[in-house]
Amino acid sequence: MPKRRRAILGGRSNTSRPPKAWTRWHEYAACADVPSHLFYGRESESAAERAAREAAATAVCARCPVRSQCEAHAINLPEPYGVWGGTTEASRRNHRQWARTHAYSEATRAS
């Protein structure tokens, strides 16, 4: 079973970490000054609260100049929690499931 990563306190706006070259796009993100609780829900939130929070978070993502880098980061890492690059936890999970199924279909066709 893969080891779960822990969230970093302060989330996206945590400036105590020096940026690495591959994360420099964080500096230009529209969410840099937005509280992280908009992007990460609490465990006890209802489905309606989650939907409203995710809609507000994706609205921030819609105007972000580095949205594509953020989305690629979330899908390739994979980032299991929160809204990243306009994608939700569920949409990224569905994307990974589709990619696994599609890769399996391609492999079986090739053999």
- Give tens-digit pLDDT for 48-106: 999 999 999 999 999 999 999 999 888 888 888 999 999 999 999 998 888 888 776 66
- 70 assigned binding-site residue: yes
pLDDT in tens, 22-33: 678 888 999 988
CA 74 to CA 76: how far, in whole Å?
Answer: 6
Residue 4 DSSP label = P
Q: Is residue 101 part of a domain?
A: yes
Is 31 annotated to bind ligand?
yes
Q: Which domain holds residue 21?
A: 15-110
Residue 26 domain-assigned (yes or no): yes
Domain count, the chain: 1
75 found inside a domain: yes
pTM, whole model, 2 decimals?
Answer: 0.69
- 26 Cβ partners below 8 Å, 6+ apart? 12, 19, 32, 66
**Residue at 4 is within a domain:** no
Ligand-binding annotation for 64, yes or no, is yes
